[in-house]
Each structure stands twice: as C-alpha cells, then as structure tokens.
Amino acid sequence: MSVQSDQRKPVTINTLHKMKQQKEKFTCLTAYDYCSAYSVSSNGVEVILVGDSLGMVIQGHDSSLPVTVDDVAYHMRCVKRGNQGSFLMADMPFMSYHDHNQTLENCAVLMREGAQMVKLEGGGWLADFTRLIVQHGIPVCAHMGLTPQSVNHLGGYRVQGRNPEQAQEMIDEALILQEAGADIILLECVPTDLGAKITDALDVPVIGIGAGPDTDAQIMVWHDLLGLYPGRPAKFVKNFLAGESGGIQGAITSYVSAVKQGLFPAPEHCYT
C-alpha cells in the first residue's frame, strides 16, 4: 500500500457560489473514512459531507439520533486525511445546537477537525443559530424539508411541502435562512416543483436529495451510491455501482457526470 496524492485546486464556498451563478451543477457525496474520502474527492465530487447518516450506515442504528459530536469529529478526522481538495461539510448532530454557547463549542470541535462548513437541520427557527455561527466565521448549510433528526415529530421519513401552504412556508423560511447568512440550503424529499421554486428564489446554492433535477447540486449517501445499505432503498436512491464496469471509481464518475448532465435524478427518483 502506498500513500498517494491526487490533490486538485481546492473547492471553496466561493467556488460553489460561482457555480450557481454560472448554472453549473455540482455534486456532493457523504464519506466517513480515509479511502472513501480519497476516492470521492479525487473523482471530481465538489463537496464531501460527514453526515449523521453515519448513525445508520456505519453504526447500524435505526435513526441518526444517537450520533454525537465526537462521532462526527472522529469521522471528519479520517475524511480530512483522505480528502484531495473537496469542500468538507460536517453535520451538527441531534441536540448539538440547542443553546448558543454549546452550539459554538460544538461547531469549534468540528471545524478544528477539518470541517469547512457545518450543516444544521430545521426551518425558520434556525435563523438565530445561523446568524450566531456565521458571525463567528463559520459557513452554515441549512437542511430543510425532510429533516431526519425530527423523524419522531414528522411521524416518519415522509415527503415534505406537498400542500401549497407548507410549500409556501418552506420557500419563505429558505429566504429567511439565506437572509440570516446561510451559504447553502439543502432540501431533502420535497416535490420537484418546490425544489425548482426554492432554487430559483435563492441566490445561494441549493443541494437536493429527493428534491428533483432542478436544484443546483445533488447529494447522495456513499452506501446508497454503492447499493450497500440493506433493505428497500428510498425512491431517490440510485445504485451507481450496479452494472458499472469501472467498479467503485466508475460508480463515482458516473454519478458526477449524470448530475452534471442533468440525467440524475430521473423522473423515477422524484416526487410530484
């Protein structure tokens, strides 16, 4: 085994904003360890998320709720060593942003391990936390729509924003979060037309997962990309390894080119 380097020009938050302005789609994948981070970043994926989905795909829990800041910090440390220039985003786990001091301390732990942005789940109520974190020089991604940390409140992993009132509320809240300083909005499991409306309404990039083909970027969980997670996959998941002759590297590059060409997500991965 030899330690390699395939470093490209590092992606920054400015790169992502510029790509939105130039209507160039970008890609994101989760990674949780050195080798997956190396493969993801050296095959052209702009953003790596160390997500709290690690609670399910790494630790085998049935939700992301048991994940701690230390868990995300550990995986960020591993990912940072493998990263070849992708922009690194860290999830703030369940209940790690409930008061101001604790929020800042938790952000600091993740940033010290190599994160370049933190992601928080919620809606308009995140504005206060977003302002606080951004004021301290830390970029924020606000994760809206289906927010898995609230699965018990939502009554399951369900599509959000299906009725016109909820949809309008989500558009308004996305604008509030942009105004509060969020540099990226992530939309999970919303109808395609709502994904498109929010993307159009915002100046900051919108990353989608189950939010249709019109968002500025797409994100997938590494284990879903490779068909590793047991059970029936969500509608928005595509196994890019199935039928791929280029193995794991091929699956990553197929995902990147499908997103950039607007071929993924296809209608069968979207909600109406």
Site residues for ligand KIV per CB under 6 A: 30, 49, 51-53, 91, 143, 186, 188, 209, 219, 221
Is residue 244 flagged as an active site residue?
A: no
CB of 4 to ligand KIV, least distance (A): 26
d(CA 185, CA 204): 7
Residues 45 and 29: beta-carbon distance below 8 Å: yes
Backbone angles phi, psi at 14, to 5 degrees: -65, -35
Tokens 């997938």 identify what position?
220
Tokens 């230390």 identify what position?
70
d(CA 129, CA 146): 19
CB of 32 to ligand KIV, least distance (A): 9
Radius of gyration over alpha carbons of the chain, in Å? 17
Q: How many CA atoms lie within 13 A of 260 on its CB side?
A: 14
Comparison of 100 and 185: residue with beta carbon closer to ligand KIV? 185
CB of 231 to ligand KIV, least distance (A): 16
| Burial label, 111 (beta-carbon count in 10 A; 0-12, 13-18, 19+) | buried
Comparison of 111 and 135: residue with beta carbon closer to ligand KIV? 111
SS3 195: helix
Tokens 């797409």 identify what position?
218
Please give the structure tokens belonging to residue 206. 């919108």
Point out the catalytic residue in the list 46, 121, 173, 188. Answer: 188
Interior angle at CA 140, CA 174 and CA 87, nearest 5: 120
Query: What distance lies between CA 147 and its chain's CA centroid?
Result: 11
CB of 19 to ligand KIV, least distance (A): 18
CB of 52 to ligand KIV, least distance (A): 5
Comparison of 8 and 228: residue with beta carbon closer to ligand KIV? 228
Comparison of 30 and 199: residue with beta carbon closer to ligand KIV? 30
**Distance in Å from the first CA to the final CA of the chain:** 48
From the list 175, 193, 67, the residue with the least C-alpha distance to 123 is 175
Shortest Cβ contact with ligand KIV: which residue? 51
Please give the structure tokens belonging to residue 92. 């703030």
Comparison of 135 and 146: residue with beta carbon closer to ligand KIV? 146
CB of 245 to ligand KIV, least distance (A): 27
Comparison of 21 and 35: residue with beta carbon closer to ligand KIV? 35
Residues that are catalytic: 188
